[in-house]
Each structure stands twice: as C-alpha cells, then as structure tokens.
Chains A and B, each alone.
Chain A
Amino acid sequence: MSSVSMTSRRKPIDWWRMSGRVFLVLLLIFTILPMAWMVITSLKTGFAAMQYPPQWWPTEPTLDNYIRLLDPSQNIGRDFLRYFLNSIFVSVVTTVLAVVIAVPAAYAFSRFHFPGRTFMFFAVLLRNMFPAVIFLVPLFILMRWLGLVNTHGSLILTYLTFGLPLAIWLLKGFYDNIPIQLEQAARIDGATRFQAFFLIVMPLSSPGIIATSIYSFIGAWNEYIYAYTFLNKNDTMTLPVGIQRFFAENATDWPGLMAATFMMSIPVVVLFLVLQKYFVRALTEGAVKH
C-alpha cells in the first residue's frame, strides 16, 4: 500500500497527488458545511437563528435545545426519548430479521441449484425497482388486514424487504467466493450440512453479515415515508416522523429541529464510523470480487 506513496515521493512535485489533496479538501468542505451549519444553528436561541446577516457563531451559544430534548420531565423530552427508543427497536429487529432471513437465502442461492433459483433470485433483486410512494395505499390496506397498522410490525415487515435484496446479493457474493471444499471436508469429518454451514461458512462471511446489518440498520433508522403513513399514534412513532413536531402551521423551530436532527444522526454515524472498515472489506469480498 504505502509503497506507492514511497516511490512517488522521489519526484519533485507530484501534481496528481497535489490535486488529489486539493480535491479532498474541497470535497470535505462540501460535505461538512451543511453539517456544521446544522450544529451551529442548534446552539442558537429561536431568536438568534432568525437574524440576517446570520450570526456565524451564536453570540450566546446555548445547549437548551438539547437539554429540552433529553429531559424526560417535559413533554417534548419524553416524546423525543420515546421516538428514539422506538427507532432503536424497529431498526434492531429489522436488522436481526434481515440477517436471519438473508443468510440462508443467500447461501441457498449460492450453493443449491433448485428449479426456479435464477427466477427467484431476480425476483428478490427487483424489489428495489419499485418506488415506495407507489405502494403506500395498497400496503396500508394490506397492513390493516394483517392488523399491523399503528404497530412497529408494519414497519419491520416493510423495511425488511428493502434491505433484503442487497443483503442477499452481497452475501451470495461471499458464499460464491468460499471454496465448497471447506464444507465438503467438514462433511467428511461427520458434520451435518447445517453444522458445516454454521461452523465453517458463517464465520468466514462475518464481514458480509456486519455490512448487511449496517445497511439494514441505516435504512430502517432513516426511513420516513412508510413510517409517516403506517403510524398514527404518538407513542409508536419513530424519529424521522417524530421530529415533524417541530413544524407547525404558523411557526418553525429551526434550532430545535436542527438539534433533533443532529441527535438523530449520531447513532448511525457513530455505528458506521466504528464499523466502516468491515463495510469496505465486505463490499470488496462480497460485491466486487467476482
């Protein structure tokens, strides 16, 4: 890895490298500026946020917006924390189910050659071709039949199906790259097919499983339009819908909204930053190497 940079250091000026750095700096500014303004706005009072020219840094920064959101003794704090827990519940269950369903399916698509396999694999992948908005009403009616309206079950079932196509595809790529001889050797040693799968194949595909989990989790955490349609009860709402409370017919609480948005982003950003190297590895091995 580092040898590339070692060799290039010998040249007087490496224009490619220079321009690469400049490009990265510009890209970083483009990436960070909106987030930075979000954080700065969240530190302002409602009044200070409404000034022009804007206060680049609040004259009197305040953490009130955060304290308000995290204080369970107030209505807003109680609601925010509940939305937060709801989001965590929905995202975690979705993620666990996605893995439990995707792993065997991907394994079967990779290893077995049952009739209809290709067709079914295509069918799974095609899920992502359908835009969410088109299905809102029929799915609402369906969820009503299933008795899932106003429950987290409706969201989990729906979110599951967004995550699955990519998860199955990614994991299948993993299994395709794991030599079948490994399992055969285990089988000869007396392991059942399930044991061979569970003890040999699963651990080897763990980066894929981690990547799949992150992908499902982020998708479920951020989803808005289905949550908006399926949930009408305050105590079931998830964060993306819940933060709408900061908008009213006649007033907008920008600092409160920005604080809520910032806090809503923290869990997924942290999760992702911690696990990003697995994600790249998983994509390398599961998606790219064919």
Chain B
Amino acid sequence: MTTSTPQAASRQTTGAPAKASVWRSIWNHRTDYAYVLPALFAMLVVIGYPVYYTLDLSLFKTPASLQLKDKVFIGLENYSTILSSTSFWKVTLQTLIWTAFSTLIAFLLGLGAALALNREFIGRGILRGLLLVPWVVSAVAASYVWKWLYHSDFGVIGALAVQFGLSDKPINFIDNLQTGLPSLIVVNVWKEFSFAMIMLMAGLQTVPEQLLRAAQVDGASVWQRFWHVTFPHLKGVSMVTILLLTVQNFNSFIIPWIMTGGGPAGATDIWITQVYQLAFGRQRWGAAAAYSVILFVIMMSLGYFYVRSLTSGDRARAVE
C-alpha cells in the first residue's frame, strides 16, 4: 500500500518516457492499478466482449430459416446496404431532430427553472422536489402514462382541450406523420429537463454573489447581469449538461418504443428503435450488428467532445 506516494508519482510522469522506463513506471505504480482494477474489469467484461461480438456478426447474413450459428459470411455487404438505403438517412435525420430539440428544450427549461429557483422563497424546496419527480420516475412508467394522456380519442389532454373549448374534437397527437415526433419530444423533455435544472442549480452556486452585487450597483440590467456575470460561470456545467443529454438522447429507446413502436409509418423511428426492430423484430442480426457499428463510429466522434468536456478540469490543472 505504501510503495508509491502521490509526490513520487508526479515526479515520475515528468521524466522522458523511454521504453524501459514505461515498464519500470508501470511496475512502480503497480499498487495504484489495484484501485482502478475492479472498475476496469467490470467495464471490460460488459463492453469488451459485446463490441467484439458485434463487429464479428456485422460481417454475416442471418436468414430467418437458419440458426445464428449457421450465419453466412458476406463481408461488408451489410454496411453498404444500410448506408445506401433511404431509410437509414431518414432515420438519421429523425434522430438528429429528436436529439437536437430534446436536448435544447430540456436545457432551456432547466436553465429557466434553475434561475427562477435561485432566489429564496417560501416553498422553494418543495417546488424543486416536485419539479425533479419526472427525472426520478422510470421511463417505462412515464411512457405508459403519456401514452394514456395523448390517446387520440380518449386522451385527457384532448378531453381538456374540448372541455375548455380549445378544440371541438379530441386532438390527434401521435397518430399522424406531422406531430408524432414532436409529441414524443415533449415527453422526453418532460423526463429530462429537471436533470438540466439540477446541474445548472449546482452551477449557479458557484457564481460569486459580490460580482452580481457589484454589477447591480453599476446599474447593469437583469439581462446584462445574467449575460456578463452569471452565464460565463455556467459555461462549463452547461457544456457538460448538454453533452450528457445529447449522448442520452442519441441512445433513446424506451419512450418511442413503448409509445408508438417507431410508427406511424416510421415517423418516430430513431436509430435505436430501428436497431431493435432489425434485431428482434426481423431477426436480421447481422444487419443490426452492422447498424450498431455505424452508430459506434458516430458516437465515438461525439465521444471525443464528451470526454474532453468531462475532463476539462484536468487539463486546466495540468496547465497550472
């Protein structure tokens, strides 16, 4: 436990790493690895094998009449089929719309809520708690509840609209090509905005009170105070929040799957519902694997920014 100390460690990394010294360095730090080993092991098991499996399977065709083990090697054909299909690009566009709007609206609502809650008032704690409920409840539960609310003939939202004279008949939310995707985005925003809210509330704690006060004394308007004092302090946390939401939204599945199954006529199909349908609905395991690999590649390029933003603190310290 005491072979290397933090000080020794930092000395080590400043030296020029010749090949032999890398091994020596690893050896010197051998107990350090014990700390991260369980985490790495869990990751390796749960990621390593599936990634290998997916890459391998993506080169095969899997006909409905054959077992998976009797798959037929077809090289990169799955990839070319997917990339040349119009449905892939249509679904990609829908995924981008889904992700961009869900992320943006959830972020803005979260920001508004965080700012409005940043002042002390009676019942603030309870209000904050209530606003956090959607983030805490399960996506499965939320999807069933919203499906029941949206129902095109018997939904309570449509019934309320009729009751208040806003509409003469129940509203069709999810059974048409135009409003299907936007309606699901609303559900997703409902589920996610409070995550943005809580992150930004945390961010607001770091805004120095004196600075705001000084700005106010100088006659800065509310907007100017926000833009010149508060917002710069929120930049880092905003970046992290937006990236976390983006990743999560690219990977969304439960809400569209339970509410519309990707319908009507594919209007709410996004990447992951498409992969699921390919694999489980249509048993094109090979095509689904190739689809997954394409998604890995897209996600990895996004992952570069994701990791950079999550580790920005590290780099800042490194400069110090």
Q: Interface on A for B, CB 8 Å cutoff?
A: 1-5, 7, 16-17, 20-21, 23-24, 27-28, 30-35, 37-38, 41, 52-54, 100-102, 104-105, 107-109, 111-116, 118, 120-139, 141-142, 157-158, 160-161, 164, 168-169, 173, 176, 180, 183, 187, 192-194, 218, 221-222, 224-225, 240, 243, 254, 257-258, 261, 264-265, 268-269, 272-273, 276-277, 279-284, 287-290
Q: How large is the interface on B (under 10, 10 to 19, 20 to 34, 35 or more residues)?
A: 35 or more
Q: Which residues of B contact A41 (CB under 8 A)?
A: 148
A37-B156, A115-B29 given as contacts; is B46 within 8 A of A134 (CB)? no
Is B264 at the interface (CB under 8 A from chain A)? no
Among all A-B residue pairs, the 7 with the closest Cβ atoms: A290-B313, A108-B35, A283-B202, A222-B138, A114-B29, A138-B53, A138-B50
User: When the two chains form their complex, are residues B202 and A287 in contact, meaning their CB atoms are under 8 A apart?
Assistant: yes
Nearest CB on B from A15, distance (A): 9
The prevalent SS among residues of B at the interface is: helix
The residue of chain A having its C-beta at the shortest distance from the C-beta of B10 within the complex is A113
Cβ–Cβ contact A34 & B272, under 8 A: no
Interface residues of B in 7-62 (CB under 8 A from A): 9-10, 12-13, 17, 22, 25-26, 29, 32-36, 38-40, 42-43, 45-47, 49-51, 53-54
Give Cα A141–Cα B159 distance, bound, in whole angstroms: 47
| A–B pairs, 7, beta carbons within 8 Å | A27-B112, A104-B35, A129-B299, A131-B295, A133-B272, A164-B42, A222-B139
* Distance between B203 CB and nearest chain A CB, rounded to angstroms: 5
* A20 with B115, Cβ < 8 A, contacts A261-B144, A288-B236 known: yes
In the complex, whether B292 has a CB less than 8 A from a CB of chain A is: yes
Expressed in whole angstroms, the minimum distance between the Cβ of B164 and any Cβ of chain A is: 12
Residues of A with C-beta under 8 A to B130: 28, 31-32
Residue of B nearest to A195 (CB): B1
Alpha-carbon separation in the docked complex, A151 to B22 (Å): 42
Note all chain B residues with C-beta closer than 8 A to A258. Answer: 145, 148
Chain B residues whose CB sits within 8 angstroms of the CB of A108 once the complex forms:
32, 35-36
In the complex, are the beta carbons of A221 and B119 less than 8 A apart?
no
Q: Are A54 and B159 interface neighbours, CB within 8 A? A: yes
CA distance A289 to B317 in the complex (A): 12
Instruction: Fill in one digit per residue for B139-181: 1 if any A CB lies within 8 Å of its CB, else 0.
Output: 1111011101100011010010011000000000000000000
CA distance A151 to B251 in the complex (A): 26
* A127-B47 in contact (CB<8A): yes
Residue among B43, B202, B248, B316 making CB contact with A124, cutoff 8 Å = B43
Given A23-B116, A137-B285, does the pair A52, B237 have CB atoms closer than 8 Å? Answer: no
**Given known A-B contacts A112-B29, A264-B141, A141 and B53 have beta carbons under 8 A apart:** yes
Least Cβ distance of A86 to chain B in Å? 15
Give chain A nearest CB distance to B187 CB in angstroms.
9
- Nearest chain A CB to B313 CB, angstrom units: 3
Main secondary structure, interface of A, reads helix
Q: Per a CB cutoff under 8 Å, which of B53, B117, B138, B248 touches A264?
A: B138
- A52/B153 in contact, CB under 8 A: yes
Complex Cα distance, B313 from A38, in Å, reads: 43
User: A7 to B216, Cβ gap below 8 A?
Assistant: yes
CB-CB under 8 A from A289, the residues of chain B are 206
Instruction: Point out the residues of chain B lying under 8 angstroms from A135, CB to CB.
Output: 46, 50, 54
Alpha-carbon separation in the docked complex, A218 to B132 (Å)? 12
Pick the most buried of B6, B35, B299: most chain A CB atoms within 10 A of its CB. Answer: B35
- B203 proximity list for chain A (CB < 8 A): 284, 288
Q: How far is the CB of B277 from chain A (nearest CB, A)?
A: 10
In the complex, how many angstroms separate the beta carbon of A167 from the nearest chain B beta carbon? Answer: 9
Contacts of A176 in B (CB 8 A): 313-314, 317
Contact in complex: B138, A34 (CB < 8 Å): no
Extra contacts, 17 of them, besides A27-B131, A218-B136, A288-B236 (Cβ < 8 A), are: A100-B38, A107-B35, A115-B29, A116-B26, A118-B311, A120-B36, A121-B311, A123-B43, A124-B40, A134-B54, A138-B49, A138-B53, A157-B42, A161-B46, A193-B5, A261-B141, A284-B203
Are the CB atoms of A2 and B136 closer together than 8 Å? no
- A16 lies within 8 A of B222 (CB): yes
* A158→B138 CA distance, assembly (Å): 17
Residue with the greatest number of chain B CB neighbours at <10 A, chosen from A52, A118, A176, A282? A52
Roughly how many angstroms separate A193 CA and B6 CA in the complex, as a whole number?
Answer: 10
Q: How far is the CA of A168 from the CA of B154 in the complex (A)?
A: 46
Confirm or deny: B4 has a beta carbon within 8 angstroms of a beta carbon on chain A: yes
CA of A174 to CA of B277, assembled, Å? 42
- The reply on B218 being an interface residue by CB < 8 A is no
- Which of B74-82, B83-91, B300-308 has 4 or more CB atoms under 8 Å from chain A? B300-308
Q: Is the CB of B212 within 8 A of A4?
A: yes
- Which of B26, B43, B285 is the most central at the interface, judged by chain A CB atoms within 10 Å of its CB? B43
Given contacts A24-B113, A31-B131, A287-B202, contact A222 B313 (CB under 8 A): no
Q: Are A222 and B50 in contact (CB under 8 A)?
A: no
What's the nearest-Cβ distance from chain A to residue B71, in Å?
A: 13
Partner of B159, one of A52, A107, A269, A282: A52
Report chain B residues within 8 Å CB of A105.
35-36, 38-40
In contact, B36 and A284 (Cβ under 8 angstroms): no
Cβ-defined contact, B316 with A290, below 8 A? yes
